[in-house]
Amino acid sequence: MTDPQPASDPREPAPRDPAQGTSRVGRYALIAAGLIALGAGGVAMLRGPDTPPPPAVPPPAAPSQQPSVDDVIAKLEAKLAEKPDDAEGWRMLGWSYFQTERYAEAATALKKATKLDPNHAETWSFLGEALVLASKEEGRMPRDAKAAFDKAIKLDPKDARARYFQAVAMDLAGRHRQAINAWFALLEDTPADAPYAEDIREVIRNVGEKYKIDVEKRLAEAKFAAPANGVITDGPHKAAAGIPGPTSEQMKAAQGMPKGQQEAMIRGMVDGLEAKLQANPGDVDRWIMLLRSRMQLGEPRKAAEALQRGLAAFRNDSASSRKLREAASSLGVAGA
């Protein structure tokens, strides 16, 4: 379930004869692979289509000679042989294996990533999906996959992939109504213009039809999150509004002071704000205020550095991360 896709998309299952008895876990996994586009280390679903995850390796000089997935894998394997403590490298290797349907190898690489960086929700949920697709078990969620999804949810309750598969586990356990309710809850957090929105509705519809559960009225009334192709949080509003702290007006109030004292006072206020965020980094509005202040002071580099620190603080809080990114984008901060 990752972006970008290779030329031959492994997320599209080949047509099958229903009499062949494909396991329900396998079918759900393949559905989900086309649903929740959260690549390893990327946040394509949450950040929108205009900000894809970074490439695994620097692009070649000639744009017409893009490396194949196999080339990427070979380079990552060589790099990791020299530097085996690179969590991001293992994540990207797992992603690359996943793209070539080498799900067991993807799971092995992602397990290494979770050991090196155990507090990254997306890695755990991506590991869970790889384990599901690698499993030969019929009609049940693999225990290690379920544990990975549970870990992801513990780190980030909004992790969409983990939420989807947790609902799958409910359905496989015979808790069909509970699964449908969980998918409806996920639907409410799904942007209305997301390409997988209709697929979630279809999963709900199929399970409802199979178990004689009426879902059509709820589907007709279902609410989506605001469209992702544009600003959908109040981050830009916060960036422009008077969040308590050193606003441009307060900075101008110091104009009566000698120039040196004025600059010292303003910078002291901003530095004090930054110190507070180091001690308590969980306030997204204060991060937005810091970005705004750095930009007003003509310090775009420091603003960009602050943005990265803020995103690191909210790495398992997708809503706050998105709000911070959209505020930074409205301010013109690099890296948004």
Cα separation of 288 and 301, whole Å? 15
The position carrying tokens 């991001």 is 88
Which of 89-93, 114-118, 228-232 has the weakest average pLDDT?
Answer: 228-232
Cα separation of 243 and 241, whole Å? 6
Give the residue with greater pLDDT, 43 vs 158.
158
| Distance from the Cα of residue 213 to its chain's centroid | 32
Is the pLDDT assigned to residue 206 strictly greater than 80?
A: yes
Q: 270: exposed, middle or buried (C-beta count within 10 Å: 0-12, 13-18, 19+)?
A: buried
Report which listed range, 68-82, 191-205, 282-296, is most confident.
Answer: 68-82
Give the residue with greater pLDDT, 192 vs 64.
192
Q: Which domains does the chain have, with CATH numbers?
A: 69-221 (1.25.40.10), 248-331 (1.25.40)
Give the residue with greater pLDDT, 237 vs 305.
305
Cα separation of 118 and 112, whole Å? 10
pLDDT digits (tens, 9 = 90+) for 219-254: 888 887 766 544 455 555 555 554 444 445 555 555
Cα separation of 37 and 26, whole Å? 18
pLDDT digits (tens, 9 = 90+) for 69-84: 888 899 999 999 999 9
Q: How many CA atoms lie within 13 A of 298 on its CB side?
A: 2
Give the residue with greater pLDDT, 143 vs 333.
143
Is the pLDDT assigned to residue 47 strictly greater than 70?
A: no
Q: Can you give the pLDDT at residue 261?
A: 61
Which of 41-45, 202-206, 272-276 has the weakest average pLDDT?
Answer: 41-45
Nearest C-alpha neighbor of 164 from the set 143, 187, 148, 137: 187
Report which listed range, 129-143, 187-201, 223-237, is most confident.
Answer: 129-143
CA dihedral 93, 95, 99, 105 (to 10 degrees): 60
pLDDT digits (tens, 9 = 90+) for 141-188: 999 999 999 999 999 998 888 999 999 999 999 999 999 999 999 988
Q: Can you give the pLDDT at residue 327?
A: 80
Q: Can you give the pLDDT at residue 106?
A: 95
Q: Contact at 8 Å (CB) between 297 and 262?
A: no
What is the average per-residue pLDDT within 296-311?
86
Q: Contact at 8 Å (CB) between 22 and 101?
A: no
| Distance from the Cα of residue 214 to its chain's centroid | 32
Give the residue with greater pLDDT, 44 vs 31.
31
Q: Can you give the pLDDT at residue 193?
A: 65
pLDDT digits (tens, 9 = 90+) for 9-23: 333 333 333 223 334
Average pLDDT of the residues of the chain = 74
pLDDT digits (tens, 9 = 90+) for 248-277: 555 555 555 565 665 666 677 788 888 888
Cα–Cα distances in Å, from 40 out to 27, 115, 119, 127, 167?
Answer: 22, 15, 14, 9, 21
Is the pLDDT assigned to residue 107 strictly greater than 60?
A: yes
Q: Can you give the pLDDT at residue 30?
A: 47
The position carrying tokens 């004025």 is 262
Cα separation of 154 and 146, whole Å? 12
Q: Considering the chain, what percentage of its residues have pLDDT values greater than 70? A: 66
Q: Considering the chain, what percentage of its residues have pLDDT values greater than 90? A: 32
Letter for the amino acid at 167?
A
* Preceding peptide of 58 cis, ω within 30°: no
SS3 per-residue string spanning the chain: CCCCCCCCCCCCCCCCCHHHCCCHHHHHHHHHHCCCCCCCCCCHHHHCCCCCCCCCCCCCCCCCCCCCHHHHHHHHHHHHHHCCCCHHHHHHHHHHHHHCCCHHHHHHHHHHHHHHCCCCHHHHHHHHHHHHHHCCCCCCCCHHHHHHHHHHHHHCCCCHHHHHHHHHHHHHCCCHHHHHHHHHHHHHCCECCCCCHHHHHHHHHHHHHHCCCCCHHHHHHCCCECCCCCCCCCHHHHHHCCCCCCCHHHHHHHHHCCHHHHHHHHHHHHHHHHHHHHHCCCCHHHHHHHHHHHHHCCCHHHHHHHHHHHHHHCCCCHHHHHHHHHHHHHHCCCCC
| Distance from the Cα of residue 7 to its chain's centroid | 23
